[in-house]
Structure formats: structure tokens, C-alpha cells
């Protein structure tokens, strides 16, 4: 019994599937590169907007601003004295107040920053007082010395330069 084997030439198969797969890979690569380019370009535009806003900021009259926020702090203290069980509310109000004060005094939007981001700024006093607020502000059971925190906040406002 005689058997013969005829081998086919390599790549004798059609070239269309290889071409289609190559074209799809090329298309996917181009789409990915376009997405990366657009992401980088949009980040540059966002940075430019922030720069423009910072340039347009004008510093306020600091003494008037201090008096305004000391009055607001006094109101927070009076509200706490009338309801001493609302420790969390007092700390939330103080946190909001001191962040807003720092924003108006410097033009840096610290009212939107996390504690970690505030630590990266030059405002070390602000970072330490916000850190003091965190535990009573976010714990399940708020415990803190509100009167001492109000005094520290008052001192920070008075010493702000």
C-alpha cells in the first residue's frame, strides 16, 4: 500500500483575515492615542482656567474680614451655648467658617480641599485646626472641647496675616 503526502505551502491561505486583524489593531491603537491626547489637552485647559482665576483675585481688607468672621464665630459660640449637645454642628460650622475665611483671605479655594490637600499648602495653622475638627465632626459619637476649639479658631483668625 502506497501512501503519498502532499504538503501545502506555508501562507497559502488567504491574506484577508490577516489584513482585517491588522487593520483593527491599527484602528484601536489610533483611538487609544486620540483619547490620551484629548485627556492631556483637557488637563492643560483646566490648569489655564485656574491660573486666570488666581490672577484675577484681589485681596480683601484683612482687618474688616477678620472682624466679620470673628462676629460669625461669636454667633457659633452663642448657638452652642444655647444647645450644648450639638457638638457635631458646632464643629461643622467652625470648619466651614475657617475654610471660608482662609479662602477669602488668600484666594486659595481651601473650602473645597481635603485635609491632605490643605497640609500641602503654606497654611500650617489652618491644617492643624482642621485636623482638630475632623474627629468630632466625623465620628459616630461627637466628643470634643468646643470652647477650646472656638478659642483656637479665634486666635487663628486674629493672627492671620
Query: What pTM does this model have?
Result: 0.62
| Same-domain check for residues 108 and 147 | yes
Residue 102 in any domain: the answer is: yes
Alpha-carbon span 118 to 99, nearest angstrom: 10
Average pLDDT, the chain: 84
| Same-domain check for residues 22 and 92 | no
| Same-domain check for residues 68 and 35 | no
Matching residue, cell 491603537: 29
Sorting pLDDT into bands at 50, 70 and 90, what band is 76?
very high
- With contact defined as beta carbons under 8 Å apart, do 95 and 133 qualify? yes
- Among 89, 52, 97, which Cα is nearest to 73's? 97
Sorting pLDDT into bands at 50, 70 and 90, what band is 82?
very high
| Same-domain check for residues 70 and 42 | no
| Same-domain check for residues 114 and 47 | no
| Same-domain check for residues 46 and 82 | no
pLDDT at 54: 53
Residue 58 pLDDT exceeds 80: no
pLDDT at 13: 65
| Same-domain check for residues 43 and 87 | no
pLDDT at 109: 87
What is the average per-residue pLDDT within 44-55? 56
More confident residue, 94 or 52: 94
Number of alpha helices (DSSP H) and beta strands (DSSP E) in the chain: 6, 0
Residue 52 pLDDT exceeds 60: no
pLDDT at 47: 59
Residue 138 in any domain: the answer is: yes
pLDDT at 11: 58
Greatest CA separation for the chain: 111
Q: Which domain holds residue 33?
A: 8-56
Residue 138 pLDDT exceeds 80: no
User: Count of domains in the chain?
Assistant: 2
> Which residue among 56, 79, 96 closes a domain?
56
Sorting pLDDT into bands at 50, 70 and 90, what band is 8?
low
Amino acid at each position: 500500500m502506497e501512501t503519498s503526502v502532499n504538503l501545502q505551502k506555508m501562507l497559502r491561505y488567504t491574506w484577508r483575515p490577516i489584513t482585517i486583524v491588522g487593520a483593527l489593531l491599527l484602528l484601536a491603537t489610533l483611538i487609544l492615542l486620540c483619547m490620551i491626547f484629548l485627556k492631556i489637552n483637557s488637563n492643560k485647559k483646566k490648569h489655564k482656567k485656574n491660573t486666570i482665576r488666581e490672577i484675577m483675585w484681589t485681596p480683601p481688607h484683612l482687618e474688616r474680614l477678620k472682624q466679620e468672621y470673628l462676629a460669625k464665630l461669636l454667633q457659633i459660640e452663642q448657638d452652642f451655648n444655647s444647645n450644648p449637645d450639638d457638638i457635631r454642628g458646632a464643629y461643622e460650622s467652625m470648619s466651614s467658617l475657617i475654610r471660608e475665611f482662609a479662602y477669602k483671605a488668600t484666594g486659595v479655594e481651601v473650602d473645597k480641599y481635603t485635609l491632605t490637600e490643605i497640609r500641602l499648602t503654606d497654611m500650617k495653622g489652618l491644617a492643624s485646626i482642621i485636623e482638630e475638627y475632623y474627629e468630632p465632626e466625623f465620628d459616630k459619637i461627637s466628643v470634643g472641647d468646643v470652647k477650646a476649639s472656638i478659642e483656637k479658631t479665634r486666635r487663628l483668625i486674629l493672627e492671620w496675616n
